Amino acid sequence: MVSLQPDFATTADALLGLFPDGSYVDDSGELVVAGLRVSELAETFGTPAYVVDEDALVRQATGMRTAFTDRWPNSRVVFASKAFPCTAAYRALARAGLGIDVAGGGELTAALSAGVDPAELVLHGNAKTLEELNLAVDAGVGIVVIDNFDDIDRLERIVRHEQRVLVRVVPDIHVETHEAFATGQMGSKFGLASPEAERAISVLRHSDRLHLAGVHMHIGSQICDLKPFAAAVEALVRFGEFDVYDLGGGLGVRYTYSDDPPSFEQWVGTLVEAAREFLPAAAQLIIEPGRSVVAGSGITLYRIVSVKPGSPTFVAVDGGMADNMEVALYDQRYEATIANRVGGGSFVNIVGRHCESGDRLINGVALRDPVVDDVLAVPSTGAYCFALANNYNGARRPPVVFCRGGVARVVVRRETYDDMLLRDVFDS
């Protein structure tokens, strides 16, 4: 797939618009992110590597929280941490005033190890195990989202003191996004549709261990149309009045030159406008952005391993679907540049090193004279790339490098081959 705007794609300014705010090209033609030259980051930390502009991450989180509380004072922003379940991110976002949404025992354990206040955690999941619920209850997790009646039965057995819960409901809203990202329509595996949701609400209102605080809904991810968000808020009216309404996340982000998602202010404005019309004025509103919090602050660095001329020309890098599954799973489009030759060039296909024909990172991207050992920088990879990293073909999962004010530090080290053998049990 060739970029929809090839002329625009050849300019350095266009590329910089996809990198973290404050990125620039220095006098030598080198891409600089978070005050650090990208080629030097690759030399110091190796490739592939996930690089995060920590200041950009914190600015995004703080701006989101402020934009929401300015419009609806009784509100909370909770980070959907499945997008980037990294302990350093948990710490940074908690310091910025965000709660954390965890979708399983591993994310819960990571958030707790990062020092996040358990009361600021929200536990999700359509298939929570008894072990995970015990972990949450023992830790004092603030809210557990009920996805089914089995959640209720298990919690009733293990809760010793009152536990706040929300019921996840299906608002029956269709959105324009990848099929795998849609979660608010009838037939979704998540949540309870009427009248089952109404029955769960009735059961919980009579529980002496579970305190029903309100309802939760989430209509999907990477959504760039605001109308479904407003319609979903209106759909909550049928379930009654509550103290808390969790409106989920789903705001789309900019991956390519042609993407034009709404701003966070526009998204929150739409939600608040609908809430003022349809929900109780005294209610607390919660939103759970994930992708839109972290995607834009992260980039991935690779080295070019091979350039195979032809039609098309294949530029192969030292990573691929083991460090970025978004392309293979969801056909996600990205852009890229040579770190010291930003903008311009001819269209090539960037492919990974894994034994799959589907291991194609970006088709039809303009690179200027790519050669072996060049550093390649791919923007907008802060969401889901780290979370979905794997060991396909024995790939070692990349490090995560946080950069701030011209200083870089490793917050997740590169996996070693010894790490990959740690769980193996050898016969004596």
Q: Annotated active-site positions, please?
A: 355
The span from the CA of 159 to the CA of 155, in Å, is: 6
Give the N- to C-terminal CA distance of the chain in Å, as an integer: 52
CB 112 within 8 A of CB 118: yes
Three-state secondary-structure class, residue 198: helix
Q: Which two tokens stand for residue 238?
A: 């049928």
* H or E element at residue 203: helix 196-205
> CB within 8 A of 141, min separation 6: which ones?
108, 118, 119, 121, 122, 123
The span from the CA of 215 to the CA of 17, in Å, is: 38
The span from the CA of 289 to the CA of 267, in Å, is: 11
The span from the CA of 88 to the CA of 402, in Å, is: 8
Q: Which two tokens stand for residue 175?
A: 């959105």
The span from the CA of 92 to the CA of 65, in Å, is: 14
Q: Which two tokens stand for residue 122?
A: 């929200």
**Residue found by looking up tokens 């530090």 in the block:** 409
Instruction: Report which residue type is found at 40.
Output: E
CB atoms within 10 A of CB 91: 16
What secondary structure does DSSP assign to 332-372, as a single string? -----EETTB-S--EEEEEE-SSS-TT-EEEEEEEESS--T
Instruction: Report which residue type is found at 115.
Output: G
CB 100 within 8 A of CB 111: yes
The span from the CA of 58 to the CA of 293, in Å, is: 9
Alpha carbon separation from 83 to 45, 89, 102, 104 (Å, rounded)? 23, 11, 10, 13
Q: Where are the alpha helices (DSSP H) in 81-148?
A: 87-95, 105-113, 130-139
CB 229 within 8 A of CB 223: yes
